[in-house]
Chains A and B, each alone.
Chain A
Amino acid sequence: MRLREWFVFALLFVFAALTLCACKKAEGEKKESFLQIGEFAVNRISADRTEVTDGAGRKLLLIPRNAPMPKDYNPNQVIRVPVKSVVAYGDFEIATLRALGVLEDTLVGVTRPEKKWYYDDVKNGFKSGKIVFLGEPQSLDYEKLKNQQPELVLTWDPSVIPMLEDLHIPAIVTSTPIAMCLNARMKFVKFLAPFFNKDKEADLYFDKVNKSLIALRERTAQSKNKQKVMWGDIYEKRVLVEPGNAWVGELLGYAQTNYLFNDVYGTSCIEISVERFLHSGEEADVYFTYRSKGAGATSKEALARTNPLVKTIRPLTHGKVFIPLPHYTQSGDKLDEIFTELAAIVHPDVYPDYKLKYFEELPAKEPNTKGK
């Protein structure tokens, strides 16, 4: 009996000592060694080795351009940094390259044709021939892709990974099974920074966005209205919304609103039932739709025509409806402005005279039929 007690105490002592040592080590190395960004991660193993985890959980190793190829890694998952040429699928990734100040020097291929770009840096890249349209994501032209000799592909589509591995082009998956939270959205720039040795720029950008978040929180706290907000759309065959865990859901919470899909959890643009959508629609004050003017959302009346069920929701009869402007999705490098704009939309009383840049409020009727 006595022996057992001694044994237990000895074990307790060893574990307590180990935990204390580990805590001390973690405190000392906390900031520089490991960074988790939602489902992404950056682990600085040493000065010459940084391991990153992409949105699909794949690990890739970043090494300096002149370093020898490590033997313990699959060469397809080793990326030499700073990366000099990138192919990117998503608007947000491209905007993040802009935030890091590397877009013009590194972007060589995209999956959206020239006429669908709104920012000059990408347009100029097309004009000079540096940036090439590689085809739609579902039918990528791999010959063109190979000709561009990218050192990295940023893709949301994991199905291209086997082909890219066959072409010996390293790739990272930027989509995640669960929607990107607000923290991950703001820190994504810190995930891409080590690929270009732009950590300082990433920190500055993050600080700027973080300041805007703090500012909008303080300002919206003064508002007397707590608006009820919904974000999504009814399409012909499905109803898609932004879940509460997505960055817009969290942001609207920070902006002192009641986001009506807070109970919905999952991927971005998640499908829910029509009944659930209409239930929230009964009490909502503000409605953000995915549709743009090009997709028929020119007025509340026009929106109601696209689906008779939508016309029953409160924002169309007594509230406000906002649509994203075409350049909104390509403006991910202006997160601070977008955050402030969303706060201004839901709290016009504390943002008087705010002029919208990324969203537009829908009029009740088509402008040309007004007054008839």
Chain B
Amino acid sequence: MKLAIYICLALVMDLGYGYLSIKRHTTLFAPLNDIGVIEWSETYGLHNLEHTAWFFILIILLTFLGVNTFICTTDRMLVLTRARKNMEPLRFMFSLAPHVMHYAVLIILSGYLCSYLFSTVIPMKSLIPGMPVPIGNSGLTVTMQKLELDYYTGRRMPLFYNYALGVQARLLIADGAHQRQATLGINDPVWSGAYGIFLKDYSPRKKDGGMKRASDRVDVSIRKDYGVYFYMAGMLFFFVGLLFYVYGMVYFKLLKKGTS
């Protein structure tokens, strides 16, 4: 328990330094999402240690926290399992809840580790209307059929007047044998098998801007990332654990009231 508190304090200090470092040297950390932690460490990371050391320390601290959490939780789980015979099934289930949440956090952390270690990323592909674009070695071909921009026409924010604040790109995704249509938008990625297609940028940004320099296009990044399934599962476990924990608290409180 003591060790966990020390690690958490160290994490707070490390993340505080990391916050300032990211704020001042954004371009150093931006490629981390695209190239993964190993390649990033070998290039940007190790060549700018004065600004990136906190990140390596963060990994070490998170590993310690993870190992410590796993050992402590498993210790308690074993004690609980041994005491199971003397407990009511419902009480046993409720007392497992905090440990389920601890395991869930570990699953979420390993999901992120998996993402940064094993995901395949194509950082940027530009799509223009009617032009099929092959996606790496995936066998997929993506064609943007139409780009629909939703321009702001309100008067409350004059700076954004006529700016494209909403974007919908109609895509045709073909994998050789089949093809299907999908709509890509801001915070609305398109999934095709294990591949996710995410909107990065689009053009034009303004209607009749006067300085329009480029034709209609969207820039997308494409990710094949199995880590997502881990953190989805982790979040689900955490939610279930939390539900049991809260329910247990209320249940025992009511039980205590009833008996007194």
Contact = CB atoms under 8 A, between A and B. Distances in A.
A89 B157 CA distance: 35
Interface string B5-37: 000000000000000000000111011001000
B49 A26 contact: yes
A162 B210 contact: no
Given A7-B71, A159-B214, A162-B133, A58 B123 contact: yes
A56 B124 CA distance: 7
A36 B27 CA distance: 9
Interface residues of B, number: 46
B131 A235 contact: no
The interface size bin for chain A is 35 or more
Q: Is the interface of B mostly helix, strand, loop or mixed?
A: mixed
B47 interface: yes
Given A19-B56, A23-B49, A159-B203, A138 B214 contact: yes
Given A43-B43, A236-B210, A58 B124 contact: yes
Interface in A228-278: 235-238, 269, 271-273
A39 B27 contact: yes
Interface string B49-84: 100000010001001100110010000000000000
A162 B126 contact: yes
A157 interface: yes
Contacts of A363: none
Contacts of B42: 34
B43 A41 contact: yes
A162 B127 contact: yes
Contact of A8 (B28, B64, B136, B213): B64
Contact of A34 (B47, B56, B215): B47
A38 B49 contact: no
Interface in B201-217: 201, 203, 206, 208-217
Contacts of A163: 128, 131
Interface in A144-186: 156-159, 161-163, 165-166, 177-178
Given A157-B213, A166-B131, A178-B27, A271 B71 contact: no
B176 interface: no
Contacts of A34: 42-44, 47
Given A38-B27, A57-B124, A162 B64 contact: no
Nearest to B123: A57
A56 to B, nearest CB: 5
Given A26-B46, A57-B124, 9 more contacts: A23-B46, A23-B49, A41-B43, A56-B123, A58-B123, A158-B126, A163-B131, A272-B159, A273-B158
30 contacts: A8-B64, A8-B67, A8-B68, A12-B64, A15-B63, A19-B60, A22-B56, A26-B47, A33-B47, A34-B42, A36-B27, A36-B47, A38-B27, A39-B27, A56-B219, A57-B34, A57-B124, A58-B124, A59-B123, A156-B213, A157-B213, A158-B217, A159-B126, A159-B203, A159-B214, A162-B126, A177-B201, A235-B210, A237-B209, A273-B158
Interface of A: 4, 7-8, 11-12, 15, 19, 22-23, 25-26, 30, 33-34, 36, 38-39, 41, 43, 53, 56-59, 74, 137-138, 156-159, 161-163, 165-166, 177-178, 235-238, 269, 271-273
